[in-house]
Amino acid sequence: MKILDRNFYMRDTEVVARALLGKLLVHYIDDHMLSGLIVETEAYRADDDPASHACRGKITRNIPMFGPVGYSYVYFIYGNHFCFNIVAKAKNQPAGAVLIRALEPIKGIEVMQKHRNQTNLSNLTNGPGKLTQALNISKEQNALDLTTQGKLYVVDYDTKSHVIETSCRVGIRVGTEKKWRFYCKGNVNVSK
DNA sequence: CACCCGATTATCT
DNA sequence: GATAATCGGGTGT
């Protein structure tokens, strides 16, 4: 299994969002490996995307979106939850990131159940706020390089093939017409 | 199952 | 003062 390199993320954001489906997100907590298959993503671009945090330029929060690809972008939302993104954009783009919206739990399931206070496997990582809670990802994991062998990275994980479905992004008020949400058809961990 | 709403804080108007 | 890339618990059908 190979860690995804910088070049993987250096393509149009929506292309990377699609390509991340079926890859494995890994986070080590106290020697426990927590991992999940990425089964749902959304692309957020730069000033051409009104729904993106980057659409009105650089501010303190979104600095990672304007930085090098392959880094994490974690932000706090609704006063309750963290959302985990991976910076991805073509070379000529100023900003962009892929929101990881759902995982299929693979390793460290008991630890994830503890973090979530929830035993139902299909309710562990089936949403952007749920998966960060399950993998214990918060502000401390913001702006980390995911292309090196640290505690947080993404690896190629060639298992069963999947059919990719496309739809409009959810939970936004503007830019709703762009079909930049991607998910593995039929997977029970895809958010509703 | 469907809707409705409160939590709780960074950011925007 | 309002809103947000969300979630879980409540009520009603």
Asked if the Cβ of residue A52 lies within 7 A of any atom of strand C, the reply is: yes
Share of residues in chain A with pLDDT > 70 (%): 99
- CA closest to C1' of C8 belongs to A130
pLDDT tops 90 at residue A161? no
| Angstrom distances, CA of residue A50 to CA of A105, A182, A187 | 32, 19, 29
Euclidean distance between CA atoms A78 and A161, whole angstroms: 35
pLDDT tops 90 at residue A12? yes
> What pLDDT, on the 0 to 100 scale, is given for residue A157?
87
Asked if the Cβ of residue A32 lies within 7 A of any atom of strand B, the reply is: no
> What pLDDT, on the 0 to 100 scale, is given for residue A120?
95
Strands A164-167 and A181-184, sheet pairing = antiparallel
> What pLDDT, on the 0 to 100 scale, is given for residue A113?
97
pLDDT tops 80 at residue A101? yes
Asked if the Cβ of residue A120 lies within 7 A of any atom of strand C, the reply is: no
A61 CA to C2 C1', in Å?
A: 19
Q: Per CATH, the architecture of A2-184 is what?
A: Roll (3.10)
Collect all residues with Cβ–Cβ distance below 8 Å to A42 and sequence separation of at least 6: A17, A98, A99, A101, A169, A170, A180, A181, A182
Q: How confident is the model at residue A172 (pLDDT cuts 50, 70, 90)?
A: very high
Evaluate if pTM is beyond 0.95. yes
What average pLDDT score do residues A99-116 get?
A: 98
Residue extents of the structural domains in chain A: 2-184
> What pLDDT, on the 0 to 100 scale, is given for residue A146?
98
A59 CA to B8 C1', in Å?
A: 22
pLDDT tops 90 at residue A159? no
A175 CA to B13 C1', in Å?
A: 20
A160 CA to C6 C1', in Å?
A: 30
A34-91 pLDDT per residue, tens: 999 999 999 999 999 999 999 999 999 999 999 999 999 999 999 999 999 999 999 9
The whole-chain average pLDDT of chain A stands at 96
Asked if the Cβ of residue A61 lies within 7 A of any atom of strand B, the reply is: yes
Asked if the Cβ of residue A120 lies within 7 A of any atom of strand B, the reply is: no
> What pLDDT, on the 0 to 100 scale, is given for residue A1?
84
> What pLDDT, on the 0 to 100 scale, is given for residue A175?
95
